[in-house]
Structure 1
Amino acid sequence: VLRYYRFEARFGTGKGDAAARAACRAAVPLLAKLSAERIAGELLRLLTVPDPLPTLRMMAADGVLAAILPEAMRLDRLQRLSALDPKPDPLRRLAALVTADAAGAAALAERLRLSNEQRDRLAGLTPPWPLDPAGDARAQRLSLYRLGADRYRDLSLLSAAEGSIDEPRLRERLALADAWQPPRFPLQGRDVTALGIPPGKRVGELLTAVQRWWEASDFTANRAACLERLKEIM
């Protein structure tokens, strides 16, 4: 059944064969017997085709999609993501397709027997997204630094698919993710212990406080300024 829809997505016309679809509808109760790995494999392969929406709509109409992925309630968001993102990323598309919070996404990943890496990525792509839709360039650099380029790119695309940001702003953010090199925080634990603080929890707390101050400076404070700030808060 699932292979039929995958082949239809890749080679079909978008309408399917009436007899084949009738057979698939009749077989829906049997889908519960399929292994999670088989379902995940077929689903992720389907999401790699340039435009999976016609086939996913067929699957929804035939009762197949609800049987294998009841969380798949956002075909509209996936459609917009597919238009914005010419390079299919199946896990990002899965995040766009489903309605789930982080715990729900983790449970979905467990049910589909996704890898730990896939589980963590999927859970990190669920709303609410830690991006400020109206944030200026400085706020975007901070988000990019904290999220990392890959997750920042994912969340920007999903925000645009949700309608939170327009396409020109999306393109600006993707260009930032491609071009910006996040700076390295200039202090380490030994800088704290060198000032007489013994190793332990307090070292991490002080480093975190100075790092947040450095981030708030738009990463402009140099090592000397960070050391001075460290001495001020000790």
Structure 2
Amino acid sequence: MAERLPEAEWTQRAELAELIAALGTGNARYVGGAVRDTLLGLAVKDIDLATTLLPEVVMEKLNAAGIRAVPTGIDHGTVTAVLHGGPVEITTLRHDVSTDGRRATVAFAEDWREDAARRDFTINALYADPATGEIFDYFGGLADLAARRVRFIGDARQRIREDHLRILRYFRFQARFGSEPANAESESACAELAATLKGLSRERIGMEFLNLLSLPDPAPTIARMKELGVLDVILPKADIEALARLAAEEQRQGAAPDPIRHLAALLPPEPSFAAEVAARFRLSGAQKKRLVQAAERVSGPKDAHALAYHLGYQEAVDWLLLEGGEIAPLVGWEIPVFPLKGGAIVARGVTAGPEVARILLMIEAHWVHEGFPGPERVQELLDEALHQ
């Protein structure tokens, strides 16, 4: 008896049934992460459909049904249906015509197995009939999922030559779904072809590496990447032990894992090197600022409130966790506003200019040191400063 997709909240969405009806019976199947994660009992974030219909026909059918359709990647066969519960990507069955490790030229196909054959891992090539829930498994994905085994479809080296980024995707999926020992053929292929990562854009490398680092405890997988020579291709000088310590601190203190903080742990505390890595991975301005700021930390935990006041809440959490400090004092604490302005000092007879700024900074430093006392104490500090 064929295995079937368990009922899940997302499969009961009325608008999803309307979308399937618009495409026509037998023309579309759920595929990829939604099927995989439902079988594992995990929450489903993104829903993807594969279809035998050409993208132009998909557009026509959705428009006729009053469903907003966006040609997000129509040259590669992808149309996005915009639904209230979230977008659904609908992609025409494909097969690769040519690949160069960075991009693929595809042709549309009509055979489900042919479409499955061009995907990366067996556990990502599972399809489900929306009407019956029947699972279609062409390459042993169900058995691999049961064994928590991450395995390339077919020849692992060929899959990687088609898209070099699959090396990093392999380690991300191994960290999230895999068991030990890992699939030997997959690891061997990743190690052998690690140098091909140099041919990818820095942005793609950075995005995929941060996806890996966003997992709760990526340290064992990152360590394995180091052993296989993969990590040195994208991030030399990585401190695996520091990442392991950070992951342990996050778990001990109930802090959510964070990819930028995890990346900061891997780097030496050198702001210039952090800036270089941020540029290499094409991080956003905000991400770069946070990474560099984390690299400015010094040994030993700092006062949590003072850190948050000077650096910001998120940055203080980074510093504390990276240095083994406690973040509990920050829970529910709001960063106060310094209750003194330069005008109040001028009103006491000090000429506007550098002297006002000096007094402000001095009083603020005392205020922070004393634990942010109220306005009355600030006035006392001002009196003391003016009578020195």
Q: CA RMSD in A?
A: 2.3
For 1:77, the aligned partner's letter is A
Identity within the alignment, %: 37
Name the SS for the 1:85 alignment partner.
Answer: helix
Contact 2:320-2:327 within 8 A present in 1 as well: yes
Question: Residues 14 and 94 from structure 1, CA distance in 2 versus in 1: closer, same or farther, beyond 3 angstroms?
Answer: farther
Tell me what 1:110 maps to. 279
* CA distance in structure 2 between the aligned counterparts of 1:184 and 1:230, rounded to whole angstroms: 20
* CA distance in structure 2 between the aligned counterparts of 1:12 and 1:132, rounded to whole angstroms: 36
TM-score relative to the length of structure 1: 0.81
**Where does 1:67-86 land on structure 2 (aligned, <5 Å)?**
67-72=233-238, 74-86=239-251
Name the SS for the 2:204 alignment partner.
Answer: helix
Deviation of 1:144 (Å) = 4.1
For 2:313, the aligned partner's letter is A
TM-score relative to the length of structure 2: 0.51
How big is each residue's C-alpha offset from its partner over 1:99-122, in whole Å with a ceiling of 9 and x where there is no partner? 241111111111111111111111
* CA distance in structure 2 between the aligned counterparts of 1:7 and 1:216, rounded to whole angstroms: 47
Question: Residues 15 and 58 from structure 1, CA distance in 2 versus in 1: closer, same or farther, beyond 3 angstroms?
Answer: farther
**Where does 1:30-179 land on structure 2 (aligned, <5 Å)?**
30-72=196-238, 74-86=239-251, 87-126=256-295, 128-129=297-298, 132-133=300-301, 139-160=303-324, 170=325, 173-179=326-332
For 1:222, the aligned partner's letter is R
Contact 2:272-2:292 within 8 A present in 1 as well: yes
Deviation of 1:199 (Å) = 3.2
Deviation of 1:127 (Å) = 5.4
* CA distance in structure 2 between the aligned counterparts of 1:128 and 1:52, rounded to whole angstroms: 22
Segment of structure 1 superposing worse, 90-99 or 18-27: 18-27
Question: Residues 228 and 104 from structure 1, CA distance in 2 versus in 1: closer, same or farther, beyond 3 angstroms?
Answer: same
Q: Give aligned pairs, total.
A: 216
Deviation of 1:32 (Å) = 1.1
How big is each residue's C-alpha offset from its partner over 1:32-89, in whole Å with a ceiling of 9 and x where there is no partner? 11111111111110012233233212211221100011131x2122112212214211
Tell me what 1:193 maps to. 346
Question: Residues 141 and 19 from structure 1, CA distance in 2 versus in 1: closer, same or farther, beyond 3 angstroms?
Answer: closer
Contact 2:214-2:258 within 8 A present in 1 as well: yes
* CA distance in structure 2 between the aligned counterparts of 1:203 and 1:216, rounded to whole angstroms: 20
Deviation of 1:193 (Å) = 2.1
Tell me what 2:381 maps to. 226
- In the alignment, structure 2 segments of 5+ residues that lack a partner are 1-166
For 1:8, the aligned partner's letter is Q
Name the SS for the 1:124 alignment partner.
Answer: helix
Considering fraction of residues, name the structure with more strand: 2
Tell me what 1:167 maps to. none
For 1:11, the aligned partner's letter is F
Contact 2:342-2:356 within 8 A present in 1 as well: yes
Contact 2:269-2:297 within 8 A present in 1 as well: no
* CA distance in structure 2 between the aligned counterparts of 1:81 and 1:179, rounded to whole angstroms: 22
* CA distance in structure 2 between the aligned counterparts of 1:186 and 1:127, rounded to whole angstroms: 28
Contact 1:78-1:96 within 8 A present in 2 as well: yes
